[in-house]
């Protein structure tokens, strides 16, 4: 399945909540979810057409929401689920931990990019190093102890500087250590569900794929 290239805010409105896909815009009054809090399309405001949501529909919507938050394709999402389904522990928690451990998400969480989409662009353009070597694969799974850093020549980029200024407003995550002076960060431990700041019912995804 091809990656979605349409308006990002349309996805947020479809899910009925902010997915934080547009960086700083999501925190301003210009956010379309705030201005138009209803589904997109010509029937978005027509509540009379809405039907009772089935269990399958709830599971599907939750899967779509998580997939869109992390910006992965259907195939990537399914492959990630199949990999974590064999691991010990709660499958839903392992799924979110694997998605959080992606390199693009880590670059975003550390504040070097304003959004996961921007983080993927930084990685694809070879602006990010892992353990001192350039990595241009956004899906690379970062392991505890591995150090990420923005390349020396890329640190003066306007996008990187703006993202770091914005990230200073948020609360740091306990499983990530960031050194803003050296434009580097490290995963201290594999993220646990209580420390993953997304509002999702991952168990519904497990139920969907278990059918």
Are 42 and 114 contained in the same domain?
Answer: no
Residues 76, 31 share a domain: no
- From the list 182, 116, 192, the residue with the least C-alpha distance to 147 is 182
Count of the separate structural domains present in the chain? 2
- Residue 104 and residue 4 share a domain: no
20 and 119 together in one domain: no
Same domain, 97 and 16: no
Tell me: do 8 and 87 sit in the same domain: no
Q: Which of 67, 75, 105 is nearest to 196 (CA)?
A: 105
Indicate if 42 and 95 belong to the same structural domain.
Answer: no
Please tell me whether residues 38 and 109 are part of one structural domain. no
Give me the CATH number covering residue 12.
1.10.1050.10
Beta strands in the chain (DSSP E): 128-130, 133-134, 147-150, 176-179, 184-187
pLDDT digits (tens, 9 = 90+) for 142-200: 999 999 999 999 999 999 999 988 876 666 799 999 999 999 999 999 999 999 999 89
Confidence band of 32 (pLDDT split at 50, 70, 90): low
Residue of 100, 112, 196, 180 whose CA lies nearest to 144: 100
Give the separation between CA 37 and CA 16, rounded to whole angstroms: 7
User: Are 93 and 173 in a shared domain?
Assistant: yes
Contacts of 211 (CB under 8 A, 6+ apart): none
pLDDT of residue 50: 56
Q: How large is the average pLDDT for residues 27-31? A: 57
pTM over 0.75: yes
Cβ atoms within 10 A of the Cβ of 139, count? Answer: 16
Calculate mean pLDDT across residues 105-122. Answer: 94
- CATH at residue 172: 3.10.290.10
| Residue-number span of the structural domain to which 118 is assigned | 56-210
pLDDT tens, residue by residue, 61-74: 899 999 999 999 99
Task: Give the per-residue pLDDT at 48.
Answer: 45
Please check whether residues 87 and 190 belong to one and the same domain: yes
The answer on 132 and 87 residing in a single domain is: yes
Asked if residue 142 and residue 93 are part of one domain, the reply reads: yes
């Amino acid at each position: 399945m091809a990656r979605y290239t349409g308006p990002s805010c349309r996805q947020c409105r479809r899910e009925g909540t902010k997915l934080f896909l547009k960086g700083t815009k999501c925190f301003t009054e210009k956010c379309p979810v705030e201005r138009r809090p209803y589904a997109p399309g010509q029937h978005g405001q027509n509540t009379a057409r809405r039907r009772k949501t089935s269990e399958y529909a709830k599971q599907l919507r939750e899967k779509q929401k998580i997939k869109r938050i992390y910006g992965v394709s259907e195939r990537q999402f399914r492959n990630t689920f199949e990999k974590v389904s064999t691991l010990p522990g709660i499958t839903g928690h392992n799924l979110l931990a694997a998605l959080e451990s992606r390199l693009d998400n880590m670059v975003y969480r550390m504040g070097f990019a304003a959004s996961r989409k921007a983080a993927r662009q930084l990685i694809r353009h070879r602006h990010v190093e892992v353990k001192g070597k350039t990595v241009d694969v956004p899906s690379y799974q970062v392991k505890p102890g591995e150090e990420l850093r923005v390349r020396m020549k890329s640190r003066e980029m306007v996008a990187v500087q703006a993202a770091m200024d914005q990230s200073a407003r948020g609360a740091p995550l306990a499983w990530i250590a960031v050194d803003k002076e050296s434009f580097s960060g490290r995963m201290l431990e594999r993220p646990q569900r209580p420390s993953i700041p997304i509002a999702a019912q991952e168990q519904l995804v497990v139920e969907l794929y278990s059918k």
